[in-house]
Amino acid sequence: MSKTIELFSKKYDKNFLNKTRPYAGIKQLLNELTNRGVLWGFRDYNELKKYGATYIIEKPEELLKFVQE
């Protein structure tokens, strides 16, 4: 079984991006989110402002407003 998993993993690693494409609208979404920061995770408010975030998202629910626009 471990040999099978090893062979599968090698083949998967080599080919997993062959037919992968971003879904419609992802480029626009990423552009919208570029200058926004979120307060959960690894950064705090001051650091996000220091590095240019134009809008600070404090709760995940606030992110929906940008996705739905």
Distances (CA, A) of 64 to 33, 56, 57, 67, 68: 11, 13, 10, 5, 6
Q: Is the pTM value of this prediction over 0.95?
A: no
Residue 42: its pLDDT value, please?
Answer: 67
Give the tens place of pLDDT for each residue, 5-59.
889 888 888 887 787 777 788 777 777 766 677 676 767 888 888 888 888 888 8
Q: Could you tell me the residue ranges of all domains in the chain?
A: 24-69
Q: Which residue did the predictor score with more confidence, 65 or 34?
A: 65
